Amino acid sequence: MNRISQAFRSFFSILFSGVLPADIAQAFGYSKVIPMKAAPAPAPKPQSGPADGAVQILSVLQRDARLVDFLMEDISAYSDEQVGAAVRDVQQQSRQALERYLKLQPVIDGVEGDFTKTEGLASSSVKLVGNVPPSGKAPGGLLRHKGWKAEKVDLPALPPGNTLAPAEIEVE
Amino acid sequence: MNVGIDLGTTNSALAFIDTKEAAEADFPTIRVLDVPQTVAQGRVESRRTLPSFLYLGDQEYVGVYAREQGALVPTKSIHSAKSWLSNPEVDRTAKILPWDAQEGGRVLSPVDVSAKILKHLADAWEKDQGSKLGEQNVVLTVPASFDEEARELTVAAAREAGIEQLTLLEEPAAAFYSWIANDLARSQKSLFDGQLVLVCDVGGGTSDFTLIRVSRENDRIDFTRTAVGKHLLLGGDNLDLTLAWLVEAKLGKTLSIRQKSGLRRQCASAKERLLADANLKSVEITVLGGGSSLVGGTLKTEITREEVLELALEGFLPGCELTDKPKDEDKSLYRELGLPLVSDPAVTRHLAAFLASAGDARPDAILFNGGFFIPEILRQRVADVMLLTGLFTQSHSSWPISITTTPMSVAIS
């Protein structure tokens, strides 16, 4: 960042909002930003162990949408058109599968970019960035991402074991 | 309750009328039962129709999943039980299905399978209505071409499924009642004494032609069946299958059985969209890589409206002469497969042959029935071909051309 721009931003920032921009304050040692720990994702209720739940959801996404095939494939050599043709199907079916089994909802059902209050929201479900006061709490701010939460996890029972998808053999 | 069941070759459905309501109205509301069925592994959903497929997997499945899974493992799949029921060339009570399973794997008779499909409907009824289907008046439709034995076997299957009060109704008659019920004002205007109506019923896998003579005295309308064609094993699925073959050739690659089954589904839906919408020029077809190389193996092509029109109109509904006969009728390629499938896909030629066999009959009107005729353009085509060949007696504008689509709602009163 060049010095003139830093000077201007500091000047106007102090003039209009009374504080230094967070990045400049940090760069010049006026404040210390403590990196916020990402809220730990609420663990899905394991049926017998966390690994089983992971295998189960991947297995469903592979079975219904072939998501594992897609994620594990090296697609660097293929054209955007080729990737695009395949992704449309995979995305649509993954989404349908998620809607069927997880019931995903936004954490805050607001408009991204609008001022949003944090009141009444669990601290684990909201992440504050920007000009966060030392208390770590703020009455509100601009909603940058609505977040996601799983209202309901209702995975179908699958055979135990670590096979995500069985190998398929076509008998001639 | 009065219940109507369409036990179809490819799809079945159940509709009903509340008798209390029926007492107060001439044509009470007909409700279609939503049938819960396994639609994919581990997923049960309700649908208005029940595909008449049985899959012998870890358990017995009837419906959508049975159809999809059956396409992948034909030796465990039973379809077209109704066609087997009306096939005089085999012992219809013997355990001959699944036919593809060969000796040893054939564990059910056509009657058993029909009973299982009806039982599925009976269970769905009980779950939805809280009463036994055996306590209701049930009307079951059968093709007019069913012989005495096929009718008796249908009754036996219904009994096995717990249906006790049963009446058989011929499908063309059901289509006729349904048309009158759905379009009362129009039917009263357009039906006249002595009128000859052709019921043209092309479903997923079968075609039936029937001639009905109307007799009318003021508001009293009666009708008599005057001619019945052969029960032809030819329908909309043949069109989908042919389209899938053409597309596979365009892709230029041999597909796996799973890819083929997916391609067939895509072709069926592309066909429906292209025939329904004159402004739609083409539909993209994407076949994902079959192995773990999903993106790399993805094949892409398109089906154009011209291609579908050519296949449907020239292949299945070509213009023909009155004297035309279906081609290569005696040397069907499929004979050895057990079901007497026809080798000429031209529905119109079969129709011309039927009218010729009915003493060169000239119908005054056509009543279309079956899923094949959902696109209006196909109904129009049959009418155009008939007009061109002089198979019609009247001018174009006055035909009461109508349609009742699958699932057939059976009108009972």
Contact B294 A70 (CB under 8 A): yes
Residues of B in contact with A75 (CB under 8 A): 295-296
| More confident of the two residues A75 and A161 | A75
| Closest residue of chain A to B257, computed from CA coordinates | A170
The confidence band for B3, taking pLDDT boundaries of 50, 70 and 90, is: very high
Q: Under CATH, which number does the domain B183-234+332-404 receive?
A: 3.30.420.40
B115 CA: distance to closest CA in chain A (Å): 30
- Of A86, A100, A157, which is closest to B288 when you measure between CB atoms? A86
Query: Best mutation site among A68, A69, A70, A99 for testing chain B: the one with the most B CBs within 10 Å?
Result: A69
Do residues A55 and A25 share a domain? no
pLDDT at A12: 54
Q: SS3 for B149? A: helix
pLDDT at B335: 47
The tokens describing B348, both together, are 């119109």
CA dihedral A7, A12, A18, A23 (to 10 degrees): -50
Give me the percent of chain A exceeding a pLDDT of 90. 35
Do residues A120 and A43 share a domain? yes
Contact B298 A85 (CB under 8 A): yes
Residues of B in contact with A87 (CB under 8 A): 295
Is the pLDDT score of B227 beyond 90? Answer: yes
For the stretch B47-75, pLDDT in tens is 999 999 999 998 999 999 999 999 999 99
Q: What's the mean pLDDT in B209-220?
A: 88
Is the pLDDT score of B351 beyond 50? Answer: yes
**Which segments of chain B belong to CATH 3.90.640.10?**
236-315
Contact A85 B289 (CB under 8 A): no
Is the pLDDT score of A33 beyond 60? Answer: no
**Highest mean predicted confidence (pLDDT) among A52-56, B7-11, B361-365, B399-403:** B7-11
Q: Tokens 């049959």 sit at which residue?
A: B382
Do residues A24 and A50 share a domain? no
Strand partners, B284: B302
Do residues A67 and A19 share a domain? no
Instruction: Report chain A's mean pLDDT, rounded to a whole number.
Output: 79
- The reply to whether A101 touches chain B by the CB within 8 Å rule is no
The tokens describing B165, both together, are 């009060």
Residues of B in contact with A69 (CB under 8 A): 289, 292-294
Is the pLDDT score of B362 beyond 90? Answer: no
Is A20 a domain residue? yes
Cis check: omega of the bond before B407, within 30 degrees of 0: yes
pLDDT at B123: 97
CA dihedral B28, B18, B174, B392 (to 10 degrees): 10
Is A128 a domain residue? yes
Q: Of B220-224, B225-229, B238-242, where does mean pLDDT reach its minimum?
A: B220-224
For the stretch A96-134, pLDDT in tens is 999 988 889 999 998 999 999 988 888 889 999 999 999
The confidence band for B339, taking pLDDT boundaries of 50, 70 and 90, is: confident
- Of A63, A69, A90, which is closest to B292 when you measure between CB atoms? A69
Q: SS3 for B60? A: strand
The tokens describing A107, both together, are 């954490």
pLDDT at B129: 94
Q: What's the mean pLDDT in B87-91?
A: 86
Residues of A in contact with B298 (CB under 8 A): 82, 85-86
Prediction ipTM score? 0.72
- Of A78, A89, A168, which is closest to B296 when you measure between CB atoms? A78
Is A156 a domain residue? no
Instruction: Report chain B's mean pLDDT, rounded to a whole number.
Output: 87
Is the pLDDT score of A19 beyond 90? Answer: no
The confidence band for B331, taking pLDDT boundaries of 50, 70 and 90, is: low
pLDDT at B35: 96
Do residues A32 and A42 share a domain? no
Is A155 a domain residue? no
The tokens describing B284, both together, are 């993209």
Do residues A108 and A135 share a domain? yes
Alpha-carbon separation of residue B143 from B7, B58, B272 (angstroms): 10, 33, 26
Do residues A101 and A27 share a domain? no
Is A163 a domain residue? no
Question: Count of domains in chain A?
Answer: 2
Considering only CA atoms, give the Rg of chain A.
23
| Closest residue of chain A to B258, computed from CA coordinates | A170
- The reply to whether A99 touches chain B by the CB within 8 Å rule is no
Is A96 a domain residue? yes
Contact A86 B292 (CB under 8 A): no
Residues of A in contact with B289 (CB under 8 A): 69, 86
pLDDT at B114: 96
For the stretch B163-187, pLDDT in tens is 999 999 999 998 888 888 777 777 7
Angle between helix B148-160 and B110-129 (nearest 10): 40
Do residues A132 and A49 share a domain? yes
Nearest residue to B50 (alpha-carbon basis) of B4, B100, B9: B9
Q: Under CATH, which number does the domain B236-315 receive?
A: 3.90.640.10
Do residues A31 and A108 share a domain? no
Q: SS3 for B75? A: helix
- Of A77, A85, A168, which is closest to B300 when you measure between CB atoms? A85
Q: What's the mean pLDDT in B229-247?
A: 92
The confidence band for B397, taking pLDDT boundaries of 50, 70 and 90, is: very low
Do residues A134 and A78 share a domain? yes
Give me the percent of chain B exceeding a pLDDT of 90. 58
Beta-carbon contacts of residue A4 (< 8 Å; ≥ 6 apart): none
Q: How far apart are the first and last CA of chain B?
A: 11
pLDDT at B295: 92
Is A170 a domain residue? no
Is the pLDDT score of A4 beyond 80? Answer: no
> What's chain B's length in residues?
413
For the stretch B123-153, pLDDT in tens is 999 999 999 999 999 999 999 999 999 999 9
Q: Of A17-31, B98-112, B174-188, B308-322, where does mean pLDDT reach its minimum?
A: A17-31
Do residues A15 and A85 share a domain? no
Interface of B with A in 283-302 (CB under 8 A): 286, 288-289, 292-296, 298, 300
Residues of B in contact with A88 (CB under 8 A): 286
pLDDT at B398: 44
- The reply to whether A64 touches chain B by the CB within 8 Å rule is yes
Is the pLDDT score of B93 beyond 80? Answer: yes
- The reply to whether A117 touches chain B by the CB within 8 Å rule is no
- The reply to whether A83 touches chain B by the CB within 8 Å rule is yes
- Of B42, B258, B294, which is closest to A86 when you measure between CB atoms? B294
- The reply to whether B102 touches chain A by the CB within 8 Å rule is no
Do residues A102 and A118 share a domain? yes
Is the pLDDT score of B205 beyond 70? Answer: yes
pLDDT at B381: 92
A151 CA: distance to closest CA in chain B (Å): 20
**Which segments of chain B belong to CATH 3.30.420.40?**
2-163, 183-234+332-404
The confidence band for B325, taking pLDDT boundaries of 50, 70 and 90, is: confident
* Residue span of the structural domain in which A73 resides: 37-150
The confidence band for B105, taking pLDDT boundaries of 50, 70 and 90, is: confident
Q: Of B44-58, B164-178, B326-340, B347-361, where does mean pLDDT reach its minimum?
A: B326-340
Q: Under CATH, which number does the domain B2-163 receive?
A: 3.30.420.40
Contact B298 A63 (CB under 8 A): no
Contact B295 A86 (CB under 8 A): yes
The confidence band for A39, taking pLDDT boundaries of 50, 70 and 90, is: low
Residues of A in contact with B300 (CB under 8 A): 82, 85
- The reply to whether A88 touches chain B by the CB within 8 Å rule is yes
Is A76 a domain residue? yes
For the stretch B11-33, pLDDT in tens is 999 999 988 877 777 767 889 99
- Four-residue CA torsion sign, B168, B172, B176, B182: positive
